[in-house]
Homo-oligomer: A and B are copies of this chain.
Amino acid sequence: MSTGGDLISLGAITLGGTSVGDSSVGDISLGARPPRADAVRNREVLLEAAHRLVAQRGADALTMAQVADEGGVGKGTVYRRFGSREGLMAALLDHSEARWQAAVISGPPPLGPGAPPLDRLLAFGASRLERNLASADLIVAAGSDQRRPLGALRFVAAHVRQLLLALEIGGDTNLLTSALLAPLEASVVSIQVSDQGVDPAQILAGWTDLVRRVVRTD
């Protein structure tokens, strides 16, 4: 897996918070002294190790001791770097999240810019649902870790809100945004799919219907 800088860490729209563990490598360290080389190295190594292990055995099976061993460091180091298991999961998500955000910001339409708002919104729903389902275990394992909800969720909300505004709907777009986002949340859809045996296509159909009803200005 190339850990290269193929795209700027968009996930780092985390408003440089007070979150545990360090932030991404490419972060704008404002005033504070730069992180030590060994810390950066270990972070990389551990992320890669964790990624490998998750790919092999799934997120649920991942243990912190495993990650430490695989990375050739002590368990304490893993915790210093990521704060907690949730923090580690969140860090793992950051990669793919950044990729996805890039697709929304500058990818081809209808997901990316260029298509009419409604088309973009529907494409967004499909794409987000797919992603949330694909990384459901990771997302759920990341729980309500500091950085994820306030980073990724913020971006997603801003995007949807933008589209709703463009559609010139009345009402409070902020509130409506949350309401539209909820049915796509990993915690919600993973239950529907795993425990209730609902077909993901059905969920999307339901969401699409919902959106169509909400935005119609007949």
Contact = CB atoms under 8 A, between A and B. Distances in A.
A209 interface: yes
Contact of A175 (B185, B205, B218): B205
A57 interface: no
A182 interface: yes
Interface string A137-166: 000000010000110000000000000000
What is the interface of chain A mostly: helix, strand, loop, or mixed? helix
Interface residues of A, number: 32
Given A144-B191, A188-B187, A218-B218, A209 B178 contact: no
Interface stretch (A68-76, A100-108, A195-203): A195-203
Contact of A176 (B150, B175, B180, B206): B206
Contacts of A194: 144
Q: Which residue among A175, A188, A196, A207 has the maximum number of chain B CB atoms within 10 Å of its CB?
A: A175
Contacts of A209: 171-172, 175-176, 179
Interface string A86-130: 000000000000000000000000000000000000000000000
A203 B178 contact: yes
Nearest to A190: B144
The 4 closest A-B pairs by CB, nearest first: A175-B206, A182-B183, A182-B182, A187-B187
Interface of A: 144, 149-150, 171-172, 174-176, 178-180, 182-183, 185, 187-188, 191-192, 194-196, 198, 202-203, 205-207, 209-210, 213-214, 218
20 contacts: A144-B191, A144-B195, A149-B191, A150-B195, A171-B209, A171-B213, A174-B206, A175-B202, A175-B206, A175-B209, A176-B209, A176-B210, A182-B182, A182-B185, A182-B188, A183-B183, A185-B188, A187-B188, A188-B188, A210-B214
